[in-house]
Copies of this chain bind each other. A is one copy, B any other.
Amino acid sequence: MTSTLGFAILSVLARGDRTGYDLAAAMRRPVGYFWTAGHSQIHAELQKLLGAGLVGFEAEHGPGPRDRKVYHLTAEGTRALREWVTEPPRERPERDELVLKTYASWLAEPELVRRMFADQLAAHETRLAEYERHEASFGGPPAPGDPRFGNYATLRCGMGYERHRAEWCRWMLAQLGEG
């Protein structure tokens, strides 16, 4: 019963062998945009994946008191990952604090609500500009089958999300009236 975090790790490892430290770095950016984990969680999960025979490692003597371990996918790990990819994702409950605040916004001062949404809008516009710059660095969409397709397709999703959020913020501001 490999967890989603386990498959997140396998997904990164499928692009190249890495240490736990490298995995933690990768799961801040770009994987962190859709799945994050701290290093403590990653080391623990790697033990489980090792026990399940989905990954292996080669140890070199590294900096610090313990060995440096470079992890790689096993044949079984690759097979498990490939199988998991096309299984329908199990939906997890949404938890969105801004939307919850919006639900209760009728009892707050409109001016303060307006300010909150103005800040949110600015943040979304900044992130969208960042993503757009990143998108431009791809020379158009890579072919499915190319590992870079994964990066590009998730980036496109992020761009759509930021646009949708920004639009909703603008709609909210219009509802609240000019400040």
What 1/0 flags go to A140-166 for Cβ under 8 Å of B?
Answer: 010011111111011011001101110
Chain B positions within 8 Å of A103 at CB level = 11, 31, 34, 150-151, 153-154
A104 and B14 contact, CB distance less than 8 A: yes
CB distance from A146 to the nearest CB of B (A): 6
Residues in chain B near residue A151, CB distance under 8 A:
103
Task: Give the distance in Å from the alpha carbon of A82 to the alpha carbon of B109 in the complex.
Answer: 8
A113 to chain B, nearest CB (A): 6
Q: Which chain B residue has the least Cβ–Cβ distance from A164?
A: B164
B175 with A168: CB separation less than 8 A? no
CB neighbours of A81 from chain B (8 A): 104, 107
Q: Which residues of B contact A56 (CB under 8 A)?
A: none
Q: How far is the CA of A94 from the CA of B154 in the complex (A)?
A: 13
So how many copies of this chain end up in the complex? Answer: 2
Contact A113 B86 (CB under 8 A): yes
CB pair B94–A36 under 8 Å, yes or no, is yes
Question: Is there an interface contact between A160 and B153, defined as CB atoms closer than 8 Å?
Answer: no
What string of 1s and 0s marks CB contacts (under 8 Å) between A55-77 and chain B?
A: 00000000000000000000000
Q: Is A96 an interface residue (CB 8 A)?
A: yes
On whether the beta carbons of A100 and B7 are closer than 8 Å, the reply is yes
Q: Which residues of chain B have C-beta atoms less than 8 A from A98's C-beta?
A: 89
B4, B88, B116, B144: the one within 8 Å of A175 (CB) = B144
In the complex, what's the smallest C-beta–C-beta distance from A49 to chain B, in angstroms?
15
Please determine whether A153 and B175 come into contact, CB atoms closer than 8 angstroms: yes
A150-B106 contact, Cβ under 8 Å, with A4-B100, A98-B89, A112-B86: yes
